[in-house]
Structure 1
Amino acid sequence: MLKNIKISTRLAGTLALLLATMVATVAIALLQMGSMRADTQTITDNWLPSVELVNQMNTQSSDFRAEEFHHVVATDAQSMDRIEKSMASSLAAFDKEHKGYVALISSDEEQRLHDAFQSEWKKYLEVHDRMLALSRANENEKARALLEGESQTAFDNASAGLVKLVQLNSQGAHDAATSAEQSYLHARNTLAVALVVAVAVAVAAGMWLMRSITAPLNQALAVAERVAQGDLTSSIAIHSSDEIGQVLQALQRMQDSLVKVVSTVRMGSESVSTASVQISEGNHDLSARTESQASALEQTAASMEELSSTVRQNADNAAQANQLAQSASSVAVEGGQVVSQVVDTMRGINESSRKIADIINVIDGIAFQTNILALNAAVEAARAGEQGRGFAVVAGEVRNLAQRSAQAAKEIKQLINDSVDRVEIGNALVDKAGATMHQLVDSVRRVTDIMGEISAASKEQSDGVSQIGEAVTQMDQVTQQNAALVEEMSAAASSLKTQASDLVQTVSVFRISGHTQQATPRTYSPPAAPPARTVAAKPVTPPAPGTAPRKAAPQAASRPAKPAPARTEVAIAGGSDDWESF
């Protein structure tokens, strides 16, 4: 039953058992240590601080008592004040330590002793107040008598109470230490027993776990050793379903698979050896055809190089024509701009001529008005008689000048009108010239665009031809590499035959039940080889008239392919003469 339990479950169970033992041991130790800690903490937190505080209270009360004697002996008020301050300081320290001690009282007996001490201390302080009043009044004899009598008795009773408190707390500390020692001894003995039990459980569990694992592992190791030595005839006994049982089952399956593999390898190795001979012969034929193809590709590459040179020259010429067209377009654009400037100038002259004609009209009007004024002046001069004769002469001269100005203005106006008409005619002609220049610029631009497209197309054509040339060159390189690979394949086929023979010898090491003799290789019936056909290189077409001269690719000599050799074992599928099938 236990053999079928998984190893992981066994390990987990053993580990859980060990952990449970450890936890139990630690729990016992913690319980005993808790008791020890409680006793130790009682000593450090209660008994020892109580003893220390009571001792300090005893010291402060003794100092307070000594100051009383000093006060009785003192005779001046200054000394008494100083002593009273010292006594007040000692009493304050006593009260502080007393409060701290009261907080540590932990038993009824201690509380009873403290109450008795508190009663005696109050009596002592009452006597102290009476003694201090007598000492202040310089009644030193009465004060000394009270100090040595009733005060001394009360102080001794209070001191005896402090001594009892010290003894009680010291005894409590001693009892706690004794309890801690007993707890330690009990914990030590308990842990020793628990440790012995834990070791015994661990040893027993370890021995059981080791035996339940190592025995099946040794069996699996023996099986693996037999398989490693080539013995595939042994049977594997499986008595458990745990991980090691699963390993043994896997070893059984592996052994069965190895038997099948070895049988198959023995039968296939001879077939591989025979097929390698056929592969070598096929590779020889393929090598010859690959060399022929490489020669044709070299001729094609040379022709593509010449074509690439011609196309590249055409692209350069198209680029130069494109540059010239762009220059002509720039000149035409500049001419159009100049004509536009001339048109603008003619329009300005036309506007100026019209303005001059308007000015002449103004001058003619002024002359006409001047002539009328001169006539009016002559009429007025005639009415004046002798007094206006001189004025009439002047008016006549002014009239003559006005008539001459009017005549000159008419002539200038006629000339300006003629000039305006001619300017308008010239402006119309310049407009026509500008329109013609714009048409010329548009035509040149279209020519430039067409030349740019021709140049780009020529460049693309050149790039395409270059790429074709590179592709042909790469095909040539690949063909050369294929030829080298075919030679390597021939060498590999020879090596394959040798390795197949070695494989047969290697596999013969394995011993298989019922298959002690070497397996007979399977024979393959070769398919009927197709009839041989002649493969000739395609002749290169001669160049057309008018094109750049180039060397014509020579025709590849027609070479009949080797006939398919007689095959006795394995034939290469598809026929050795069919390049497309390859």
Structure 2
Amino acid sequence: MHWFNQLRVTTRLVAGFLVVAVIGAVMGLLGVVNMGRMAEWTGKIYNGDLQALKAVQDANINLVYASRAQIGLLSASTMGERSAEKDQIVKSLGTMDERIRQVAGAFETPEGKALVKQYQDLSPAFRARMDKYVELVGKQPLDTSQFESQVFSESADLIKDSHALEAVMFQMVKRRDDRARINMEEARSVYHASRLWMLGLVLGGLALSVLLGVLLARALSRQLGGEPGYAAAIAARIAEGDFSSPVKTRAGDKSSLVFAMQQMQQQLSRMVRDFKASAESIGSASREIAAGNNDLSQRTEQQAASLEQTASSMEELTSTVRQNADNARQ
């Protein structure tokens, strides 16, 4: 971590915040991706499984309607009732085939395709037999006691065929139900995996954030050498000229701000002592120079007085010489 401690404080703080931001971004991205996967599985369950299940069940219901109308043909008391039951059979069988055709593509597995193929093989034969049955009943009188025996045998055969179709559609419903259950389990597994990932990232991000905070705090504390308030108080005392208060540093501290302020305090204290000593030396020398100047001045005055006396004596001597010279001429 030596390289980390060499970085600027601003760089370290920005790096720490960036790491936390990246963790948050990863968590958000993972959440978005997993939400998309959950939406995909949900859409697959609804559009693929539930819609197919509903369509097959609807086809089965229409088969029941057609079988009910088939029985209704036998008990119809008027030609209008026969016509209504015939229309119901045509409508129900048409709706049944249409609903199966709509969802045939949803059965993508080999087993599902086999079921669709089985239905496609049974349905045309069933409809053809139903058409023959309807035509046969249409030829019968309204009194059921006068029906041909073939009508009842054909009706029994149609019921068997309808049971075969029902069995196929039951298997199709079961297939879609199983597929929906599998998709639901996969969606649940995606949810659980996403929850574990999110929980892991949250805990990891929390741990990493705490670690970065501790590292940054230790690095800043190591650089400062103490609390920022303590460093500010030391600077204030030094600014006021107080060099006597001790500056406490941590054991082994040789590079912090507080250590540098301690060195500065000691250097300033030594410089002040040196300045005082120098000032006292200069003052003593100045006093000695002043005393020497006074002595020189006194001597100069004495010499001046002696020179004046000498000059006076010279004048007197000159006057005497002049008088002697005058006396000699006389």
TM class, shorter-chain normalised? 0.5 to 0.7
Deviation at 1:165, TM superposition (A): 0.1
Q: Name the SS of the counterpart of 2:220 in structure 1.
A: helix
Contact kept in structure 1, 2:65 and 2:92, CA below 8 Å: yes
Superposition pairs of residues 416-431 of structure 1, within 5 angstroms: none
Q: Distance in 2 between matches of 1:89 and 1:130?
A: 16
Q: For each residue in 1:15-57, what CA deviation from the matched residue of structure 2 results, as whole angstroms up to 9, or x when unmatched?
A: 1222233334444445544444433332122111111111111
Answer whether contact 1:32 1:186 (CA < 8 A) is retained: no
Aligned counterparts of 1:104 and 1:170: Cα–Cα separation in 2: 12
Tell me how far 1:101 sits from its aligned partner: 1.8
1:213 aligns with 2:238: no
- Runs of 4+ with >6 A deviation: 234-238
The equivalent residue for 1:157 is 164
1:52 aligned residue:
54
- Distance in 2 separating the partners of 1:85 and 1:151: 17
Please tell me whether the aligned partners of residues 39 and 177 of structure 1 are also in contact (alpha carbons under 8 angstroms): yes
Distance 1:5-1:76 versus aligned 2 partners, 3 A rule: same
Are 1:81 and 2:83 matched, yes or no? yes
> How much does 1:59 deviate?
0.7
1:18 to 15, 20, 28: 20
Distance 1:115 1:65 in 2: 22
Candidates 110, 113, 121, aligned match of 2:112 = 110
Contact kept in structure 1, 2:55 and 2:103, CA below 8 Å: yes
Distance 1:136 1:125 in 2: 16
Deviation string 1:171-223 (CA, Å, 9 cap, x unpaired) is 11111122222223333333333333222211110011122234523454233
Q: What's 2:190 paired with?
A: 183
The match for 1:273 is: none
- Alpha-carbon spacing, 1:72–1:225, altered in 2? closer, same or farther (3 Å): same
In the aligned structure 1, how far is the partner of 2:90 from the partner of 2:5? 88
In structure 2, which of residues 153, 164, 185 is the aligned counterpart of residue 145 of structure 1? 153
1:226 aligns with 2:237: yes
Match of residue 125 from structure 1: 127
In the TM superposition, residue 117 of structure 1 has moved relative to its aligned partner by 1.3
Query: Per-residue displacement from partner, 1:216-264 (whole Å, max 9, x unpaired)?
Result: 2345423343257x23658999947xxx89xx99xx9xxx9xxxxxxxx
Q: Secondary structure at the residue paired with 1:57? A: helix
- State, as a whole percentage, how many aligned pairs show the same letter: 16
Pair 14,137 (structure 1): closer, same or farther in 2 beyond 3 Å: same
Matched position secondary structure for 1:138:
coil
Partner of 1:384: none
**C-alpha RMSD over aligned residues:** 3.3
Q: For the structure 1 residues 100 and 515, does the alpha-carbon distance in structure 2 shift closer, same or farther, using more than 3 Å as the test?
A: farther
Write out per-residue CA displacement over residues 350-391 of structure 1, whole angstroms, 9 at most, x where no aligned residue: xxxxxxxxxxxxxxxxxxxxxxxxxxxxxxxxxxxxxxxxxx
Alpha-carbon shift at residue 105 of structure 1 (Å):
2.8
Judging changes above 3 Å, is the alpha-carbon distance between structure 1 residues 60 and 127 closer, same or farther for their aligned structure 2 residues? same
Q: Given the superposition, is the C-alpha separation of residues 100 and 231 from structure 1 closer, same or farther in structure 2, using an over 3 Å criterion?
A: farther
Provide the rounded CA distance (Å) in 1 between the counterparts of 2:42 and 2:57: 21
Q: Which residue identity is paired with 1:223?
A: I
TM-fit CA distance, 1:162: 0.4
Q: 5+ residue gaps in structure 2?
A: 142-146, 280-330
Contact in 2 for aligned 1:71/1:83 (Cα 8 Å): yes
Letter in 2 for 1:136: G
Aligned counterparts of 1:209 and 1:151: Cα–Cα separation in 2: 84
Q: Residue 71 of structure 1 contacts residue 135 of structure 1 at CA under 8 Å; is this kept in 2?
A: yes
TM-score by length of 2: 0.65
Q: Conserved in 1, the CA contact under 8 Å of 2:86 and 2:134?
A: no
Cα distance, 1:119 vs structure 2: 1.2
Q: TM-score, normalised by structure 1?
A: 0.39
Q: Which runs of 5+ in 1 are unaligned?
A: 257-511, 518-582
In the alignment, is the contact (CA less than 8 A) between 1:117 and 1:161 conserved in 2? yes
The answer for the alignment partner of 1:414 in structure 2 is none
| Equivalence for 1:65 | 67
SS at 1:106's partner residue? Answer: coil
Whole-angstrom distance in 1 between the partners of 2:99 and 2:58: 7
Please tell me whether the aligned partners of residues 20 and 205 of structure 2 are also in contact (alpha carbons under 8 angstroms): yes
**SS across alignment from 1:183:** helix
2:199 to 169, 192, 198: 192
Answer whether contact 2:65 2:88 (CA < 8 A) is retained.
Answer: no
| Aligned counterpart, 1:324 | none
Q: What is the CA–CA distance in structure 1 between the aligned matches of 2:22 and 2:161, rounded to whole Å?
A: 65
Write the distance in 1 (CA, Å) between the matches of 2:5 and 2:233: 19
How far 1:163 sits from its partner (Å)?
A: 0.3
Cα distance in 2 for residues equivalent to 1:47 and 1:130:
36
* SS of aligned partner of 2:189: helix
1:71 Cα offset (Å): 1.6
8 A Cα contact 2:67 2:159, kept in partner: no
Q: Can you list the C-alpha shifts for 1:455-499, whole angstroms capped at 9, x where unaligned?
A: xxxxxxxxxxxxxxxxxxxxxxxxxxxxxxxxxxxxxxxxxxxxx
CA distance, structure 2, for counterparts of residue 59 and residue 223 of structure 1: 92
